[in-house]
Amino acid sequence: MEEVYKPGEDSYLLQRWVEKLVTGNVLDMGTGSGIQAVTAAQKKEVNHVLAVDINPAALVAAEKGAYSNKVQDKIEFLHSDLFETVDGVFDWILFNTPYLPSEGDADEASWAGGETGGEVIRRFLGEAPCFLGSGGSVLMIYSSLSGLTDADFNGYRFELLEEIGLFFEKIYCVRLSPF
Ligand SMILES: C[S@@+](CC[C@H](N)C(=O)[O-])C[C@H]1O[C@@H](n2cnc3c(N)ncnc32)[C@H](O)[C@@H]1O
């Protein structure tokens, strides 16, 4: 079984903005340990969180976290490759993406973003607008190593919320709202 991503600087960066911005009905894509789902569920402004991951071990860990933080009634867990089995529309979609370049299937889903680092993100950005209600936004983390360009954000209003420097890369937290 795959390991579950242990929260790092990227997770805490996203968490700060979840605390500040997120309300209503929330989708936590790639929930991992459940850090974002639990943070969102702890807010009184949030009604419901759907926590999704491709890694079944992550869903087990996230559910445990929900119980230990006593927010299990507000979070639902779903196994899915991105939006494949997701149903519904959301006010916010959170995603601390797997954003690093990787080679082949042996790489870990926690961080492997495909050959250029941006493949999973591009697929996500293409599908996300269909799952956002009117006025909804994506809150997303990616890296200067993800190989993304302005063209990858076509169709979204792009707002850079915060940037941090980590070793040889920069990590960005952005808000994306479909036009
Ligand atoms: C960088 S970790 C982030 C974990 C957690 N949200 C956090 O902030 O610490 C990326 C997560 O995305 C999940 N993931 C990767 N590819 C996915 C896909 N195609 N569909 C759903 N989840 C995916 C991984 O299993 C992993 O849990």
Answer yes or no: is 3 within a domain.
no
Checking if the pLDDT of 112 tops 90, the result is no
User: Which residue owns the Cα nearest ligand 1 atom 5?
Assistant: 32
Answer yes or no: is 25 within a domain.
yes
Answer yes or no: is 2 within a domain.
no
Q: How far is CA 74 from CA 28, 111, 123, 178, in A?
A: 13, 27, 28, 26
Answer yes or no: is 116 within a domain.
yes
Q: Domain holding 149: CATH number? A: 3.40.50.150
Answer yes or no: is 64 within a domain.
yes
Count of domains in the chain? 1
**Domain boundaries, position 49:** 9-178
Checking if the pLDDT of 7 tops 70, the result is yes
Q: Tell how far the Cα of 46 is from the centroid of ligand 1, in angstroms.
A: 21
Cα 153 from Cα 174, distance rounded (Å): 11
Answer yes or no: is 152 within a domain.
yes
Q: Tell how far the Cα of 99 is from the centroid of ligand 1, in angstroms.
A: 10
Best probe residue, ligand 1, of 110, 120, 123, 142 (max atoms within 8 Å of C-beta)? 110
Write out pLDDT tens, residues 58-107.
999 999 999 999 999 999 999 999 999 999 999 999 999 987 777 665 55
Q: Is the dihedral of CA 107, 108, 109, 111 positive or negative?
A: negative
Cα 138 from Cα 128, distance rounded (Å): 8
Answer yes or no: is 137 within a domain.
yes
**Among the listed residues 40, 97, 38, the one whose alpha carbon sits nearest the alpha carbon of residue 69:** 38
Answer yes or no: is 1 within a domain.
no
pTM for the model stands at 0.95
Strand ranges across the sheet with 169-178: 75-79, 46-53, 24-29, 90-96, 132-143, 169-178, 156-166
What pLDDT sits at residue 1? 56
